[in-house]
């Protein structure tokens, strides 16, 4: 019996977060809550516009804070939830994209909101290989994707607030019913063990942890 009220699916862009979260929520009978979908500054930020980068990070910080607030609402409080984001990961992009002065201001705003942040009971990190991450994000500079991948790996490897399931995602197909069932079996094992932190590794084409 899976006993995680909030499971968050995380990973690099185009790692399959949303498809995995949707498939998992359907199998578990949980509520699905999606990440922020539209950002008016995103295209300029990708084009290396420094001003837009700061605007983008504040946009995501505030919008995800509001998403977290909705998770406390009565309509969701009584249900298990699967999200395709973890709002704590905002700092990954901020530390990569912002100048020193911008980052200082960003951290001040973040500290005001941090006490209200929702901490998932389990994070599933869809970890792509460097080659796969670069190929899926061909519109972005490969050097940036490599930095982003390193930052993601470091962030979730250092996470101490709940268990993190590292899933080798190169060959993971969230549209496969069997793959999702296998993933649920792994989640169930973690739930039975009662772990409140720690790293677990799972390769869909290898051995389960």
- Domain residue extents for the chain: 6-202
In the sheet with 31-33, reading across from the earlier edge strand, the strands are 31-33, 81-83, 6-11, 122-127, 164-168, 199-202
- Which pLDDT does position 107 carry in this prediction? 94
Tell me the average pLDDT across 185-201: 90
SS3 at position 57 = helix
Rounded Cα gap, residues 137 and 13, in angstroms: 7
Backbone angles phi, psi at 31, to 5 degrees: -75, 135
Residues in the chain: 209
Fold classification of 6-202 is Rossmann fold (3.40.50)
Q: Is 52 left (phi over 0), alpha (psi -120 to 50) or beta?
A: alpha
Kindly indicate the confidence band of residue 206, based on its pLDDT and cuts at 50, 70 and 90.
very low
CB 183 within 8 A of CB 205: no
* Structure tokens given for 157: 């490897």
Cα 173–Cα 175–Cα 181 angle in degrees, nearest 5: 80
Rounded Cα gap, residues 53 and 33, in angstroms: 25
H or E element in which residue 32 lies: strand 31-33
Whole-model pTM: value is: 0.88
- Which pLDDT does position 159 carry in this prediction? 96
Tell me the average pLDDT across 37-52: 56
pLDDT in tens, 85-140: 999 999 999 999 899 999 999 999 999 887 778 899 999 999 999 999 999 998 88
C-alpha pair distances (Å), 202 with each of 23, 37, 67, 113, 179: 18, 29, 29, 33, 12
pLDDT in tens, 63-84: 888 888 877 765 555 679 999 9
- Which pLDDT does position 141 carry in this prediction? 87
Which among 83, 71, 88, 56 is positioned nearest to 156, based on CA atoms?
A: 88
Bridge partners of 6? 81
- Which pLDDT does position 74 carry in this prediction? 58
Which among 63, 78, 75 is positioned nearest to 113, based on CA atoms?
A: 63
- Which pLDDT does position 3 carry in this prediction? 79
SS3 at position 199 = strand
Kindly indicate the confidence band of residue 45, based on its pLDDT and cuts at 50, 70 and 90.
low
Kindly indicate the confidence band of residue 18, based on its pLDDT and cuts at 50, 70 and 90.
very high
pLDDT in tens, 150-189: 999 999 999 999 999 999 999 899 999 999 999 999 999 9
CB 145 within 8 A of CB 12: yes
Tell me the average pLDDT across 7-17: 95
DSSP state letter for 87? G
The answer on pLDDT for 202 being more than 80 is: yes
The answer on pLDDT for 55 being more than 90 is: no
- Which pLDDT does position 22 carry in this prediction? 97
């Amino acid at each position: 019996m899976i006993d995680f009220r909030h499971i968050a699916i995380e990973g690099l862009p185009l790692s399959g977060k949303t498809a995995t979260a949707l498939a998992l929520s359907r199998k578990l009978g949980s509520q699905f809550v999606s990440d922020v979908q539209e950002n008016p500054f995103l295209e300029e930020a990708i084009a290396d516009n420094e001003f837009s980068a700061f605007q983008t990070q504040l946009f995501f910080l505030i919008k995800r804070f509001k998403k977290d607030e909705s998770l406390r609402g009565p309509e969701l409080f009584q249900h298990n939830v699967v999200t395709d984001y973890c709002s704590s990961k905002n700092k990954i992009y901020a530390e990569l994209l912002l100048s020193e002065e911008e980052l200082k201001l960003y951290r001040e705003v973040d500290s005001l909101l941090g006490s209200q942040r929702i901490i998932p009971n389990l994070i599933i990190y869809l970890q792509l290989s460097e080659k796969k991450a670069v190929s899926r994000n061909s519109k972005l500079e490969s050097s940036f994707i490599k930095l982003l991948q390193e930052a993601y790996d470091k962030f979730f490897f250092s996470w101490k607030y709940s268990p993190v399931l590292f899933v080798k995602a190169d060959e993971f197909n969230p549209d496969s019913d069997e793959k999702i069932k296998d993933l649920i079996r792994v989640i169930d094992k973690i739930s039975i063990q009662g772990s409140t932190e720690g790293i677990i590794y799972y390769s869909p084409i290898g051995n389960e942890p």
